[in-house]
Amino acid sequence: MTDITDTGSPSEDVLRRRGVLLLVFAGLMTAMLVAGLGLRAITEPGGTNSYALLADAFLHGRLYVADCFDVDCAFYDGHNWVIFPPGPAVLAMPFVAVFGIGFSGFILLATGATALALVLWWRIFTRLSLGREAAVWLLMALAVATPLYYVTIRADGVWFFAQTVAFLLVTFAVHEVVRGGFLVLAGTAIGLAMLCRQMSIFYLPFLFALALKPDELLISFRWPHWRRALALGLPVAAALCVYFLYNYVRFGSPLDTGYGYMMPGQAGEETMVDHRIADYGLFSSAYVLFNAMYLLVQGFHLQFGGVTMTVPEAMDSAGTSLLAASPFVLLAIFAPMRRPVVIGLMMIAVIAAPMLFYHSNGFTQYNAQRYTLDWLPILFVILAYTLRAPDVRPNVPNGLVAALKVLVTYAIALNVVTMAMLALTT
């Protein structure tokens, strides 16, 4: 009788060849997604991003806008207002000054911002002693297997452009702390990021913990701690004052962002968001179950129609959960419980928890939950600690890099399928 029992694990050569095949496959799919991004950039129509209108207003000494390119504008005191923080409009001002409010290069600007952020992330991974192989895969995951790709390719919209700019600024702040640079630069970057995405302010405790040496106490009243805290905090405090003044001049209160004056959709054209605000308001416990399911559980969903249910009709515009679209983030379970990891996890909870009560989960989106991009840089630092080279972390669990390769390849493939189905159904 022949023994067909498995006699052992695949050889190192076999595993290496499989790894190369995965890398080639993932690289080809990445090239497809980058080509799609390039096509979107050169065909952007213009007249879709309200930050062009706000930039034009700034150039003419106004804070209100004459019109609005999207649904999330406010009407107050006889004027239209872009309710979002002003930072991205300042970045767009030189281009709007030259090309006017029809400027059609927002996706190109976002692509440049994302590319620069990826260069900084490579340097961050190097500083955190991540092995070259793990760094390549983690960088590819960040580029095309997270919401970063989606917000970049959709940067012709005001919401998405703001997220790409904020992501670059937060990345720069992390880079400055990791490389041991000037903390005041990191604090300035966080202050500017807050003027794009308000939740960026909660990076301060994480950056402070990341800046400490391993033998230093987390809480101390010695001058080195005060110096770090002031270097990080004072620029953010200045940016906060600018934002409060901006709100006060627009709406008469430092804390009034204008969301309460958002204009509803036309009769018969109301969206889910319009109905939610009308029935429950901007924040409500009624949204928690929906937002939590879409954050953590909801899978990729392509809707089929026709009497035989064989015709692809639409993608789920509320998106796919982070764990379903980017399952490699689960490897953070194996992170060493070092101080930056613990503080980072706490800050992720602080940023993510309020959004469970928010009227929108990022709608519209498809294979993403784009609000997770507000805290994904923290999670990628944690993943870097998890996957550090064996000579730096000798007790790293076996097979984590191999698992990373498989999960990242799957996540990239899912993004390719998403883009293909969107092209087919829209």
Query: One-letter amino acid identity for 350?
Result: V
Is the entire prediction scored with pTM above 0.85? yes
Position 38 in a domain: no
Domain count within the chain: 1
CA distance linking residue 376 with residue 382, whole number of Å = 10
pLDDT reading at 327 higher than 90: yes
Contact indicator for 105, 294 with CB cutoff of 8 Å: no
Position 358 in a domain: yes
pLDDT reading at 396 higher than 70: no
Q: Which range has the worst mean pLDDT, 124-133, 269-278, 298-307?
A: 269-278
Tokens (6 digits) for 68: 């609005």
pLDDT number for residue 394: 60
pLDDT number for residue 61: 97
Contact indicator for 383, 327 with CB cutoff of 8 Å: no
pLDDT number for residue 8: 53
pLDDT reading at 199 higher than 60: yes
Tokens (6 digits) for 234: 């004072």
CA distance linking residue 426 with residue 35, whole number of Å = 19
pLDDT number for residue 5: 52
Position 291 in a domain: yes
According to the 3-state scheme, what is the secondary structure of 370-426? HHHHHCHHHHHHHHHHHCECCCCCCCCCCCHHHHHHHHHHHHHHHHHHHHHHHHHHC
CA distance linking residue 214 with residue 326, whole number of Å = 31
- pLDDT grade, residue 405 (50/70/90)? very high
- pLDDT grade, residue 10 (50/70/90)? low
Position 19 in a domain: no
- Mean pLDDT, the chain, integer: 93
Position 17 in a domain: no
pLDDT number for residue 289: 97
pLDDT reading at 300 higher than 90: yes
- pLDDT grade, residue 274 (50/70/90)? confident
How many residues are given for the chain?
426
pLDDT number for residue 391: 58
Q: Which range has the worst mean pLDDT, 159-173, 279-293, 382-396?
A: 382-396
Give the mean model confidence (pLDDT) for residues 155-172: 97
What DSSP string describes 272-319? HHHHHHHHH-SB-GGGHHHHHHHHHT----EEEETTTT-EEEEE-TB-
pLDDT digits (tens, 9 = 90+) for 85-100: 999 999 999 999 999 9
Position 1 in a domain: no
- pLDDT grade, residue 125 (50/70/90)? very high
Sort strands 73-76 and 302-305 into parallel, antiparallel or unpaired: unpaired
CA atoms in the 13 A half-sphere facing the CB of 234: 9
Which residues on neighbouring strands pair with residue 80, listed in sequence order? 65, 75
Contacts of 49 (CB under 8 A, 6+ apart): 69, 70, 92, 103, 106, 155, 156, 157, 158, 161
- Kindly state the helix (H) or strand (E) to which residue 29 belongs, with its residue range: helix 12-42
- pLDDT grade, residue 217 (50/70/90)? confident
Tokens (6 digits) for 30: 């990445």
pLDDT number for residue 323: 98
pLDDT reading at 223 higher than 60: yes
pLDDT digits (tens, 9 = 90+) for 23-74: 999 999 999 999 999 999 999 999 999 999 999 999 999 999 988 998 889 9
Contact indicator for 73, 80 with CB cutoff of 8 Å: yes
**Residue labelled with tokens 């109301």:** 270
pLDDT digits (tens, 9 = 90+) for 333-351: 999 999 999 999 999 999 9
Top mean-pLDDT range of 213-227, 233-247, 268-282: 233-247
pLDDT number for residue 6: 53
pLDDT digits (tens, 9 = 90+) for 226-244: 999 999 999 999 999 999 9
pLDDT number for residue 222: 85
Give the mean model confidence (pLDDT) for residues 111-131: 96
pLDDT reading at 218 higher than 90: no
- DSSP type of residue 266: P
Tokens (6 digits) for 259: 């969301």
Position 157 in a domain: yes
Position 74 in a domain: yes
CA distance linking residue 196 with residue 185, whole number of Å = 17
pLDDT number for residue 9: 59
Domain span at residue 401 reads 48-425
CA distance linking residue 229 with residue 212, whole number of Å = 11
Contact indicator for 323, 370 with CB cutoff of 8 Å: no
